[in-house]
Amino acid sequence: MKTLLLLFFIFITGITNAQQLDNFVKENYNKIDTTITMRDGVKLYTIIYTPKDSKEKYPFLMERTPYSCEPYGDTNYAIRIGPNPGLMKEKYIFVYQDVRGRYMSEGTNLEVTPYIKNKSKKQTDESTDTYETIEWLLKNIKNNNGRLGVYGISYPGFYATASLLDAHPAIKAVSPQAPVTDEFEGDDVNHNGAFFLLDNFSFMNYFGKPRSGPTKSYESNLFKYNTKDAYQFFNQLGPIKNTQAENYYNHKSSIWNEYLQHDTYDEYWQSRNIRKHLNKITIPTLVVGGWFDAEDLFGTLRTYEAIEKGELHNNCKLVMGPWTHGAWESAEWKQYASHDFGSNTSKTFQDSIETTFFNYYLKDKDSFNINEATIFETGTNRWKSYSSWPPKKTTPTIYYLNNDGILSKEIAKTTDSFDEYTSDPNKPVPYTAGIYGNRNNDYMAEDQRFAYSRPDVLFYQTTTLKNDLTITGPITANLHVSITGTDADFIVKIIDVLPDNQPNFKNAPKGFQMAGYQRLVRAEVIRGKFRNSLEKPEPFEPNKITNIKFNLNDVAHTFKKGHKIMIQIQSSWFPLIDKNPQQFLSIPQAEKSDFKKINIRIFHDNLHQSNITIPLNTIEE
């Protein structure tokens, strides 16, 4: 959704293409600023770019956004339109709309507007607003061919998904990209009940500001926030209730209020889970995401999964590349963190997949022949195609935690065997090694040696791999734990340990050392009280051995010969996620005195076999 990183990528790409294409938009398109009236009388501000060449009929390509469809005014042209430069040159009728209650549109904005099934003629949601917008466009914009495509990244990706429900017959192609999908289970706001504090605190300072009516700019933020050290800032801030202090949110943001009020998977969150409505979807759909997306990796994978489960004869394709949030639309994406991909992966996607997808379904141009899943495999830096995702030809393989930090396929033969650490909320484990005011966007592939050396982080690793080992699909953590408190968080990391003779990558910064690098491949958190149900949290019984089992998001990665696989386990990931008091209570209501230091044991004996299951890809498709 939901950070300004998305806007950053679009801005950088826009500047680059503006330099290359000069005044292409103004020279080749006419611009219309208008409002379109919805069924309840609310007017949505809409900007339309129509090709000046009127010799043929064009399809519509639409993005609905809460981030402004500026620039406003008939004579003010955008420097770039459409998802990528290739589609802009192809010429479509490009449509941008401020969604209900945002910027220049009337009405009230709802956080990830719930879909209303069997709605009355007076009820509205994003599907009705999309439908009525399309009706108006077909009747009022000349030289259209009667077809329309919808696309969007992040929050606009959610609106693209919503267009699939009660869809207008003119919709012939939809591309939800990193779509916000379920904000309690795995997207921007919470992961398995753990609140993502860092991103949301800064994002809602801008996005959550109320307005009195349509506006071209929200101007200043709700409060001043300009720290150089987020770890120190949030550690000093204390309990999350302090975010409502007079100099911060002060109950002024309705969405922030809702976040703190709804700290279980109640009706508020359940009604916003669009996955459960994605059945019988037959419209050609291209779901796109990135392996290093810190915001909506869950939403991408689970949106595709829901469409696949909901309709046997669907036409849905999945593309997963080595990208951060929205980076597939950047002008160039060859590197990330310490990864060098060896090619411009964003251009490959734009030219070979996205442009051909919309051209084929909206213009009957050329062909669109890709497999069910087009996947970039990290470690080998190869694009691969699969007939299903996850691939059918994988072998779930269990690796067991053992004594002396060993990760092995062998089951422990000992009894009453465990490792122990102390989790102190006043000294939480940082999510990143450096000092940053905002999120370190490289953290999803960062060297984990900074955590490896902490006494409150456990690690287990294999012996040196004798052959390449490829994993494709979801990972399952299965822990047997005991704690001295009544709640705790558990973060599980999958790490690729590079050999001690690993050379540095090209243009590595001075002092950088790839030898022995512990590169993060995937990590996930679960708030322990939600181990059995997101809806009904349960306290732990102190000192009782308890099972916690949860999934990490999918991966497509090859651990190369000579590398090792490492698992790290910890109980804080700060300030990426908020502090857990480690007592069973409503965390948004917790006082400073509620935060307790506890001891945590991870068991790995013949009766309590803590382990991790990884999907080994043994046969190439």
Q: What is the pLDDT of residue 564?
A: 98
pLDDT above 60: residue 621: no
Q: What is the mean pLDDT of residues 8-37?
A: 72
Confidence class for position 297, pLDDT limits 50, 70, 90: very high
Query: Where are the extended beta strands (E) located within 498-559?
Result: 518-527, 546-559
Confidence class for position 507, pLDDT limits 50, 70, 90: confident
3-state SS of 273-306 is CHHHHCCCCCCCEEEEEECCCCCCHHHHHHHHHH
Q: 16: exposed, middle or buried (C-beta count within 10 Å: 0-12, 13-18, 19+)?
A: middle
Helix ranges (DSSP H) in 344-404: 345-349, 355-363
- Residues 186 and 163: their CA atoms lie apart, in Å, by 22
β-pair partners for 408: 400
Q: What is the mean pLDDT of residues 18-27?
A: 74
Q: What is the pLDDT of residue 413?
A: 85
Of 386, 418, 405, the residue nearest 615 (C-alpha): 386
- Residues 80 and 26: their CA atoms lie apart, in Å, by 10
Q: How many CB atoms are closer than 10 A to CB 108? A: 10
Q: What is the pLDDT of residue 508?
A: 75
Task: Return the domain boundaries, the chain.
Answer: 5-182+272-386, 394-617
Q: 34: exposed, middle or buried (C-beta count within 10 Å: 0-12, 13-18, 19+)?
A: middle
The pLDDT tens digits for 299-342 are 999 999 999 998 888 999 999 999 999 999 999 999 999 999 99
> For residue 318, what are the contacts with CB-CB under 8 A and spacing of at least 6?
287, 288, 289, 300, 301, 304, 372, 373, 374, 375, 389
Pick the CATH number of 394-617 from 2.60.120.260, 3.40.50.2300, 3.40.47.10, 3.40.50.300: 2.60.120.260
Q: How many CB atoms are closer than 10 A to CB 604? A: 24
Q: 340: exposed, middle or buried (C-beta count within 10 Å: 0-12, 13-18, 19+)?
A: middle
The pLDDT tens digits for 64-88 are 999 999 999 999 999 999 999 999 9
- Residues 358 and 286: their CA atoms lie apart, in Å, by 10
Q: What is the pLDDT of residue 7?
A: 45
- Residues 191 and 354: their CA atoms lie apart, in Å, by 29
Concatenated DSSP letters for 172-193?
Answer: EEEEEES----TTTTSSSEETT
The upper half-sphere exposure of residue 149, i.e. CA atoms within 13 Å in the direction of its Cβ, equals 28
Q: What percentage of the chain reaches a pLDDT higher than 70?
A: 96
Is it true that 5-182+272-386 and 394-617 share their CATH fold? no
- Residues 614 and 475: their CA atoms lie apart, in Å, by 5
Query: Where are the extended beta strands (E) located within 52-92?
Result: 58-65
Q: What is the pLDDT of residue 5?
A: 44
Tell me which residue has tokens 């791999």.
465
Token reading at 56: 């043929």
Q: What is the pLDDT of residue 2?
A: 55
Q: How many CB atoms are closer than 10 A to CB 177? A: 30
The pLDDT tens digits for 445-484 are 999 999 999 999 999 999 999 999 999 999 999 999 999 9
Q: What is the pLDDT of residue 8?
A: 42
pLDDT above 70: residue 52: yes
C-alpha gyration radius of the chain:
25
- For residue 141, give the 3-state DSSP assignment: coil
Q: What percentage of the chain reaches a pLDDT higher than 90?
A: 91
Token reading at 284: 């050609």
β-pair partners for 65: 98
- Residues 618 and 621: their CA atoms lie apart, in Å, by 10
CB 550 within 8 A of CB 526: yes
Calculate the average pLDDT of the chain: 95
- For residue 32, give the 3-state DSSP assignment: strand
**Residue 546 DSSP code:** E
The pLDDT tens digits for 203-255 are 999 999 999 999 999 989 999 999 999 999 999 999 999 999 999 999 999 99
pLDDT above 50: residue 12: no
- Residues 349 and 347: their CA atoms lie apart, in Å, by 5
Query: Where are the extended beta strands (E) located within 56-111?
Result: 58-65, 93-98
- Residues 567 and 578: their CA atoms lie apart, in Å, by 22
- Residues 262 and 79: their CA atoms lie apart, in Å, by 41
Pick the CATH number of 5-182+272-386 from 3.40.50.2300, 3.30.70.270, 3.40.50.1820, 1.10.3720.10: 3.40.50.1820
pTM of the model: 0.96
Count of residues making up the chain: 621
CB 590 within 8 A of CB 579: no
- Residues 547 and 545: their CA atoms lie apart, in Å, by 7
- Residues 216 and 209: their CA atoms lie apart, in Å, by 14
Q: What is the pLDDT of residue 505?
A: 76
First-to-last C-alpha distance (Å) of the chain: 34
pLDDT above 50: residue 15: no
Helix ranges (DSSP H) in 291-374: 297-310, 345-349, 355-363
Query: Where are the extended beta strands (E) located within 205-342?
Result: 285-290, 316-321, 335-336, 339-340
